[in-house]
Amino acid sequence: MADKQISLPAKLINGGIAGLIGVTCVFPIDLAKTRLQNQQNGSRLYTSMSDCLIKTIRSEGYFGMYRGAAVNLTLVTPEKAIKLAANDFFRHHLSTDGKLTLFREMLAGCGAGTCQVIVTTPMEMLKIQLQDAGRLAAQRKLMPETVAAGSVETKSSTAMQITRELLREKGIAGLYKGLGATLLRDVPFSMIYFPLFANLNNLGKRGVDGPAPFYVSFISGCIAGSSAAVAVNPVDVIKTRLQSLNRGNTEDTYSGVTDCIRKIMRNEGPAAFLKGAYCRALVIAPLFGIAQVVYFLGVGEFILSFLPKKVQPQ
């Protein structure tokens, strides 16, 4: 993140805290993104992000906007920890005399994105079921002809109930449905974000070796995060569709990434791959902005300062 030297434990604490605060702040926008990406032609309930949020509050109350947030809040810390630790590990081993070429920066980002899907895939799988349940419940009331009679009601299901059901029916593979699409999203995202942030941040450095001012790191994080988010949005749409277990009877089902791309192109057109892109940019930019605030304040270092120091041998 920022240029100052931060120990790995402090980075993990900072990343975890930033993730918790960020998820709490932007989760309603993420919920709108999921619902907008999942609705297909013939079953559209929402016309925009604001329309989705207003209708969600009216039908499900304020806390309806946070359905699935518990999963994110529980797993976002290990996800950030893996991503940060992996990126640091690969950057260290790929650097020569402390310097990295653009290709090696992208390679390090690729490694970080690959490692984080261990946590990201099941987290997204569970979150999407909970987020989209309200859309299906609203369809049952307002558009009953679009909902299959035998579809499972998930509005009141908890993450633990969905997890047990998936494990019983499909084993651990059930929680990793959409793994390929998650890799196709997170690996390019990290390959774009980390090098773009590093190079934008370097433009604002004070002198050759001086750190960049806080506001430069903040803006760099927002620009790099939102740019990477929009760039990989088509894959995010595919991932969301593949990981959704319940659908209306007028909505397509998909057997894999290729089948999903083909059906979306045929039935909805290329513009469908940009569904939720605005929401996703609005989610990612604050997440990285909040991370910069946490790093700038040195929250992780402050917490670690209270831990007992190891006594050095005489």
Domains of the chain: 8-118+180-245+253-303 (1.50.40.10)
pLDDT of residue 265: 94
51-57's contacts with Cβ under 8 Å and 24+ in sequence apart are 53/28, 53/29, 55/138, 56/28, 56/31, 56/32, 56/134
The pLDDT > 70 percentage for the chain reads 90
Q: How far apart are CA 222 and CA 224, in angstroms?
A: 6
Residues 264, 241: contact at Cβ < 8 Å?
A: yes
Max mean pLDDT range (128-137, 215-224, 265-274)? 265-274
pLDDT of residue 152: 44
pLDDT of residue 151: 47
Q: How far apart are CA 275 and CA 252, in angstroms?
A: 16
Bridge-partner residues for 147, per DSSP?
248
Residue 207: pLDDT band with limits 50, 70, 90? low
Which DSSP letter does residue 48 get?
A: S
Q: How far apart are CA 216 and CA 252, in angstroms?
A: 45
pLDDT of residue 164: 92
Q: List Cβ neighbours of 168 (8 Å cut-off, separation of 6 or more).
A: none
pLDDT of residue 3: 46
Q: Dihedral through CA 191, CA 99, CA 224, CA 27, nearest 10?
A: 70
Max mean pLDDT range (53-67, 74-88, 296-310)? 53-67
CA distances, 231 to each of 193, 209, 280 (Å): 10, 31, 10
pLDDT of residue 86: 87
Mean confidence (pLDDT) of the chain: 85
Residue 143: pLDDT band with limits 50, 70, 90? low
Model confidence, pTM: 0.84
CA distances, 104 to each of 1, 87, 96, 99 (Å): 17, 11, 10, 10
Mean pLDDT of 113-125: 92
What's the length of the chain?
A: 314
Which DSSP letter does residue 93 get?
A: H
